[in-house]
C-alpha cells in the first residue's frame, strides 16, 4: 500500500513540476504579461521545481530503508506546501 501511495505522490509531484515549468514564463519572463521577477524570485521558483522532482526520489529512498512513514511525508510535502500557498490571501 505504501508503494502505491508513493507512486501516486510521484505522479502528482511530476505533474506539479510540469505545471510550474509551463507557467514559468508568466512569472520569470521579461514579456509584458509577466511579473518580471528578479533574481531571487527566479531562483526560488526553480528551487521549487527541483524540490518537486527530488521529493518522490527521496520518498522512495526512505521507503527502501524501511522508513515508509517518513518517505510518504517527504513525497507529499510539495503538494501540502502548494495547498498551503493557495490558502494564503493575496497581498493587497
Q: CA angle at residue 77 from 76 to 83, to 5 degrees?
A: 95
Q: CA angle at residue 4 from 86 to 68, to 5 degrees?
A: 85
pTM: 0.81
User: Following DSSP, what letter does each residue of 58-73 receive, concatenated?
Assistant: HHHHHHHTT-HHHHHH
pLDDT digits (tens, 9 = 90+) for 23-38: 877 777 777 767 777 7
pLDDT at 45: 84
pLDDT digits (tens, 9 = 90+) for 8-25: 999 999 999 999 888 877
pLDDT digits (tens, 9 = 90+) for 43-90: 888 898 999 999 999 999 999 999 999 999 999 999 999 899 889 887
Amino acid at each position: 500500500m505504501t508503494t502505491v501511495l508513493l507512486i501516486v505522490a510521484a505522479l502528482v509531484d511530476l505533474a506539479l513540476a510540469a505545471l510550474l515549468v509551463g507557467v514559468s514564463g508568466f512569472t520569470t519572463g521579461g514579456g509584458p504579461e509577466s511579473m518580471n521577477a528578479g533574481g531571487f524570485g527566479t531562483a526560488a521558483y526553480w528551487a521549487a521545481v527541483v524540490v518537486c522532482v527530488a521529493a518522490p526520489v527521496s520518498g522512495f529512498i526512505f521507503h527502501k530503508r524501511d522508513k515508509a512513514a517518513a518517505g510518504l511525508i517527504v513525497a507529499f510535502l510539495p503538494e501540502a506546501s502548494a495547498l498551503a500557498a493557495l490558502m494564503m490571501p493575496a497581498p493587497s
